[in-house]
Structure 1
Amino acid sequence: MDLPLTEQYVHGAVELETTARGVLPHRLPAWARRQFPDPQLLTAEAQPSGVRVVFRGTVSAVELRVEATRQSYPGVPPRPPGVYDLRVDGELVGLTTADEGRVVFTGVPARDQLVEVWLPQHERTELLSCRVEGSARPVVDERPVWVHHGSSLSQGSGAASPSTTWVALAAPHLQLRNLGLGGGALLDASTARAVRDLPADVVSLELGINVVNADAMRLRAFTPAVHGFLDTVREGHPATPLLVVTPLHCALHEDTPGPGAFDLDALARGEVRFTATGTPEPGRLTLSSLRAELERVVRQRQADDPHLHLVDGLELFGAADEAAHPLPDALHLDAVSHRLVAERFAPHLRRALPGPPGR
């Protein structure tokens, strides 16, 4: 049985672009992509973090045909092939990669069940076809919608697989739209409008690390940019629970500004690591100074916004956590740390959006 590659079966994308061969999931709308066609942003938003093929039925095998594109940098070891996760009734039962454009899961228990194939979080994935052995029908997902925006930490860098990023693990009882954009959490007005326009029962924003490691703003520009971003989101979600997550601990940038860069000595050893190249000076942002200012802005706004919540990133992943679980490349979480952050963030979602889970 061939499944149509439509929104009935492909969940978690903001848009599905029809291509000559199939469909390409996007996590930013077309107008936003046209408005600011930055290569880094366009690469990240077409990597389908949080996007999955979903159906219910009795099947024994699933086959996807895909056209996968991996990002690479000259002189930098390539990322391994993207991982596809198979979840059955919420349980992770299989992981694989694409073999010459074929993603195959066999031995699926043949009973009526919910089947989800999660697409790689860091690999542009054009879907060409989806075939199942058995019968399948679309799922109407009635769970509350969670829209999340953040950096590569939210997109899933360092996670073992797409359904085990901290964002994917934090709230299985919610319907996820992950707008985590590697290198792209820079308080762009177009991203704020994209968040504003999406249906959402809860919204969260992981902000700060990209502003610092891109050396994108000084304090003078950062503060009004945060206000403007939150104002725009509130235009579409005036009373929706809104969680602002301050930066997780990253020793690299705690007291050293960006820009960040590849560590050339590490590259010479065949390792990917990052370094901070900025010089501290008044108004130049580090994670420590940015975290304090972001907290001040949120506290100020909470006086008039009872649905605005602050999540301290150091409580999700602090200095002691980094000492126990060093960041493999000095910037991104490892697989264990993704699970740790998910466990600590989940209670914030439950408090913001109480109620029984549902599907």
Structure 2
Amino acid sequence: MHTIPLTPDLLRGALEWERTAHGLLPHRLPARARAQCADPQLAMVESQPSGVRLVLRTRATAIELDTLPTKRVYAGAPPRPDGVYDLLVDGRPAGSGSVAGGNTLTIDMTTGSVEHRPGEPGTVRFSGLPDTLKVVEIWLPHNETTELIALRADAPVAAVPDRGLKVWLHHGSSISHGSDAASPTTTWPALAASLGGVELINLGLGGSALLDPFTARTLRDTPADLISLKLGINVVNADLMRLRAFGPAVHGFLDTIRDGHPDTPLLVVSPILCPAHEDTPGPSLPDFSAVSEGRLRFVPAGDPAERASGKLTLAVIREELDRIVRERSAEDPHLHYLDGRELYGEADFGELPLPDGLHPDAAAHRRMGERFAALAFGPGGAFADGAA
């Protein structure tokens, strides 16, 4: 086996690398952005490599990747499954694997305490690949912080030159991050990117789509041909702001992005259906009654009467986003709006209910990815002229 140097030209979907004591840690927010927020939730999710993959050109029939994962453990709950590594060969699924062990991050959701315990690295191995020159992609677990330690193959490996695909930059909440998707290539943004024939940079940040200025600047400064923003649910979850602040914050977020991408197709997507918060404000609070059985639900803690004082619901947010985009698009013809319920609405909830009250399951992710591809990349869509 040849040891392959891990270099940035082999990695797609990350905005920055950090050299650690063990290897290389991909980041989805740059250091300057990370330095402006001490929230441990943000630190955890931006280091989880949703959409990040190694892309190689090789004749290798066997490839090994040593990594040090950081697993999340929730106090009182059964162990979570190991993160999944997906293998694509010339764009087609060709296997998957996991790495056991690693560091553990034990989170007590009742107290907010977090305990980090170091662990040992492991190896994911893919073999039996065709002995032909091919493009191999190893998609890292979307929900598991992953330090890359070593890459080996039984034939030389080269970086893949630019294939001329458009770059789609997407930002959203845990639903865009991947939430309960089955694997990294089956999150709804990854599926939509595959169907749309574009290169994905996924800045879906679980619990952290909060209209932060540093995120807007990151989007502004990241080269992209297509940009989408899925906004709203986290602002309600966190009970972060009132209507008076929300509208100007959206305007400021869009203004910052437009400073770097004045003419790029920009699609604003409102929240998917979430009955708990359609007309009831946040915050969302966890219900621990069945956590020992591996089931956690989230329940709304707001009062519908508080809408009169400006507290936000998903219905209010959709109306406001629609209004803002309509008004701005008079001078910005490349700005578009998509109602998130076209991706997942009432009929979908009846068939594929949200298991924890907030997040779509694996089947719903697939449906959302297919619908987004049709609505955004298909005829008449916001990205119809931007895909390859």
Interval of TM-score (by shorter of Structure 1 and Structure 2) = over 0.9
Which residue is equivalent to 2:345? 318
Structure 1 residue 273, shift from structure 2 partner: 1.5
SS in structure 1 opposite 2:67? Answer: strand
SS of corresponding position for 2:364: helix
Quick check: 2:177–2:205 contact (8 Å CA) kept in 1? yes
Q: Does 1:79 align with 2:109?
A: no
* Aligned-residue CA RMSD (Å): 1.4
What secondary structure does 2:146 align onto? strand
- Alignment-derived partner of residue 147 in structure 1: 169
Is 2:172 aligned against 1:128?
A: no
Between 97-106 and 12-21, report the one with greater CA deviation: 97-106
User: What letter is aligned with 2:341?
Assistant: L
Q: 1:1-359 counterparts in 2 under 5 A? A: 1-100=2-101, 101-141=122-162, 142-172=164-194, 173-267=197-291, 269-280=293-304, 281=306, 282=308, 283-347=310-374, 348-350=376-378, 351-354=381-384
| Offset at residue 268 of structure 1 (A) | 5.1
Post-superposition shift, 1:254? Answer: 1.1
Amino acid at match of 1:61: A
Deviation by residue 1:277-332 (Cα, 9 ceiling, x = unmatched): 11121211111111111111111111111000101101111011011101111111
Q: Which runs of 5+ in 2 are unaligned?
A: 102-121
Alpha-carbon deviation of 1:5? 1.5
Taking a change above 3 Å as real, the CA distance of residues 2 and 357 of structure 1, as seen in their structure-2 partners, is farther
Alignment-mate amino acid for residue 216 of structure 2 = A
Give, in angstroms, the shift of residue 78 of structure 1.
3.9
Letter in 2 for 1:123: E
Q: Is the 8 A contact 1:249 1:313 kept in 2?
A: yes
Measure how far apart 1:251 and its partner are: 1.1
Q: Is the CA contact 2:61–2:130 (under 8 Å) kept in the aligned structure 1?
A: yes
**What fraction of aligned residue pairs are identical, expressed as a percent?**
56
Aligned residues of 1:149 and 1:185 also touching (Cα < 8 A): yes
Distance 1:238 1:284 in 2: 32
Structure 1 residues 256, 114: CA separation in 2 closer, same or farther (over 3 Å shift)?
Answer: same
Question: TM-score by structure 1 length?
Answer: 0.96
Report the residue type matching 2:217 in the other structure.
R
Q: Distance in 2 between matches of 1:113 and 1:318?
A: 40
Where in structure 1 do 4 or more consecutive aligned residues deviate above 6 Å? none
Deviates more, 1:116-125 or 1:279-288: 279-288
Alpha-carbon distance between aligned partners in 2 of 1:274 and 1:353, rounded to the nearest angstrom: 34
- State the Cα deviation string for residues 116-173 of structure 1 (Å, max 9, x = none): 0000011000000111112221112331111100000000011110011000010221
Q: CA deviation at 1:8?
A: 1.0
Task: Give 1:74 deviation, angstroms.
Answer: 2.8
Q: Would you say the 8 A contact 2:77–2:293 is kept in 1? A: no
Distance (Å, rounded) in 2 between the aligned partners of 1:14 and 1:177: 8
Q: What is the Cα deviation at residue 269 of structure 1?
A: 4.4
Q: Deviations over 1:37-85 (max 9, x none)?
A: 2100010000000000110110111111011002333334443110000
Residue correspondences, number: 358
Supply the AA of the counterpart residue of 1:328: P
Output the CA distance in 2 between the equivalents of 1:135 and 1:47: 28
